[in-house]
Amino acid sequence: MGIPIVQVDAFTSEAFGGNPAAVCVLEAARDARWMANVAMEMNLSETAFLHPEADGYRLRWFTPAVEVDLCGHATLASAHVLWSEGHLAAGTPARFQTKSGLLTCRQAGGWIEMDFPAKLEIAAEAPPQLADALGCEFSYVGRNQFDYLVEVIDEATLRGLTPAHHVLRELPVRGVIATARGSGDFDFVSRFFAPGAGVDEDPVTGSAHCALAPYWATKLGKTEMTGFQASKRGGVVKVRVEGDRVILCGQAVTVLRGELLA
């Protein structure tokens, strides 16, 4: 008998939007090389693997190229699968032990709330190739343990970015978060480029919002905001800053159920 695998579109209420992730719920831990091969085969920005551990689940995330330390959309997808596939009863929090510590997800009226660590950036000098790679000027550049965070002049500039991914790939970070002040229903907009991690542009990036939320909270003077990641697929991320934590809120839709035979 094969191993069930479920594909979920995260940070969206409709199929074929948001960010797709594969989720594999295992009975016990598996070899990291096997997980890396499955992620490469699925060829999505992230594939999540989880198995029961203590009072929750051990959760690991793999891109087609590397294992990562923190991933929002695949955590959202994993919690969605635990509830929708009957692994957890409705209303029971999903608890994940990860490389970034304990992450907890809760159902909240058709949305899923995720309790993540804030990833504060500090002002940084931009590498010379960063401006060339993005093809625009910045009003701010910062860096945290994972990424550069770059604020561009306006939303139109952000949406029009056509980065040179081969140049970004050489930067000594996971990726580059580009952001701008939003309009209408959205307090801020963003895009995320991570060619060095095997993903040229990630459709919707929960972990990037661990930096975006405190950054825009300071600039806008508010702790609850709604962000939109303006990739081709697009996705909505509601955020709430609570001290050194960020509550990320999103929706998810199952689009495929399958079985791993290898």
Catalytic residue among 14, 27, 46, 151: 46
DSSP states along the chain: --EEEEEEEES-SSTTSSEEEEEEE-SS---HHHHHHHHHHHTSSEEEEEEEETTEEEEEEE-SS-EES--HHHHHHHHHHHHHTTSS-TTPPEEEEETTEEEEEEEETTEEEEEEE----EE-PPPHHHHHHHTS--SEEEE-SSEEEEE-S-HHHHHT----HHHHTTSSSSEEEEEEE--TT-SEEEEEEEGGGTEEEES--TTTHHHHHHHHHHHHT-SEEEEEE-SSS-EEEEEEEETTEEEEEE-EEEEEEEEE--
Q: What are phi and psi of 218, to 5 degrees?
A: -65, -45
Q: Which residues pair with 252 in a beta bridge?
A: 10
Whether 46 is catalytic? yes
Q: Which residues are catalytic?
A: 46
